[in-house]
Amino acid sequence: MTLFDFVKERYDMAYSELIKNFNRIRTYLRSFYVYGFRHRDEFTQKSARSYDNERRRVESWLGEYMSFGQDEEGRRVFLSVDSRAIPANPLYRAFRTKSFTDRDITLHFHILDILKVTGGLSITSLMDELADRLSVFETGELPDESTVRKKLREYASLGIVSMEKRGRKTFYVLSEDYVDLQSWETAISFFSESAPLGVIGSFVQDHMPERFQKFRFKHHYILNALDSETLYELFIAIGERKLIIFTTGRQHVTALPLKVYIGTQTGRQYLLAWTPANDLFSFYRVDLIDNIKVGDALARTGEAEQRIDQIDQLEKTDLEKSDLGEPDFENNNLEKTNLEKRLNEFCSHVWGVTGNNHTRLTHIEMTVFADPEEGHIVERLHREKRCGTVEQLDDTHWRFSADVYEAFEMLPWLRTFTGRITDLQCTDKQLTARFWKDFKDQAKMYSLESL
């Protein structure tokens, strides 16, 4: 072996397009290629070699969308995508780069092929078939039975195979596919580009003869694809009412996830969760959630056990805990109802995603003018209000009133009724002062006494 071959071999070993941990590439993609204002020297969490490897990976997946900018500090790398011109989210490609071992891929194809040919086998017969097949290869090492059982259980949980009891033996049978994917192509195409966890639809499309690519989106929030794994864990925890542990920035949080909110203007996703340690309903940005653990993984951590003990000590809820470190709602319907009631009460006073139930409620009233023939203004009040009530004062005046945790979030919406507001009252005087100050500042810009 020459020195060149040796160096090349070592270099190729250090770099691979396949990845084991998606969270790391998620950080690189967001920091460098999506935000697009950072330079190579600004990333200090890893070595320069690690950065170069990640950059090469991303360029191999998204090369046609890569752009570069030059300034006095050096070159910046970023993604440049016209959402009107792309039929599919390019970031989904990152999910098709999961690394695997030689044994994983060997077992995958041999097991599925054997089950398809034979129609189903017991573990003993399956091991015999594997031994016959692998014996023709010089390096065909036969895996042990426990490894094969584990792989079969994994496939059973995914619905790829089914387990049938025949006498005293368990037979593994390849599941039949009854779904006519072609009839779903339009729905799947729309789902994959518009819904949370749309990456699932993208994988389903891989099994179709050709992709349905008729949709284009003016507001296409492709960045949410990077949070798909986090969302998946959150939806599992919400559906099964399990506690989760995660980090956000430097904060470690143990919470019960309740809802996921998606902003219609920015596409940003937020988690609404209840933290039992301080009995708090609060919001967390999904794109800032890392290292999430659910259910079994949660119960094995010392921090979780400490938090669960705190749940038992809460006088307000007095929730019980189960073996997995989660509130046992099934055996405590009264407390389940209590928490849901408190959640609904909290949500009835939420306008955006910055308030929490430890914040004092703010009362706000806005009176607007609308002629009898201007019914569309009244319809706007009813349609766009996220909480509160609308009442008619006379033939031309309507009052919107609400009690909210964070009234300043309402300012952009209140300003859309400029020219129609006849009265604005709020228990937080800073809000009304800010509202009218903005009007005066804008009037000065146009040399007017008022707007």
More confident site: 145 or 325? 145
* pLDDT at residue 337 greater than cutoff 50: yes
Amino acid present at 359: T
* pLDDT at residue 80 greater than cutoff 50: yes
Beta strands in 175-288 (DSSP E): 244-248, 251-262, 269-275, 280-285
* Phi, psi (degrees; rounded to nearest 5) at 365: -135, 130
Q: Which band of pLDDT confidence, cut at 50, 70 and 90, is reported for residue 348? A: very high
Q: Which band of pLDDT confidence, cut at 50, 70 and 90, is reported for residue 62? A: confident
Q: How many CB atoms lie within 10 A of CB 381?
A: 19
Nearest to 15 by CA among 48, 63, 41, 54: 54
Q: How many CB atoms lie within 10 A of CB 296?
A: 11
Average pLDDT over residues 155-184: 86
pLDDT digits (tens, 9 = 90+) for 194-208: 999 999 999 999 888
More confident site: 402 or 333? 402
Q: Which band of pLDDT confidence, cut at 50, 70 and 90, is reported for residue 30? A: confident
Task: Report residue 313 as tokens.
Answer: 């000590």
pLDDT at 331: 43
What is the rounded average pLDDT for all residues in the chain?
Answer: 82
* pLDDT at residue 272 greater than cutoff 80: yes
Residues near 407 by beta carbon (within 8 Å), at least 6 away in sequence: 351, 362, 364, 426, 428, 431
pLDDT at 287: 92
Query: Would you say 245 and 222 are in contact if contact means Cβ atoms under 8 Å apart?
Result: no
Q: How many CB atoms lie within 10 A of CB 427?
A: 14
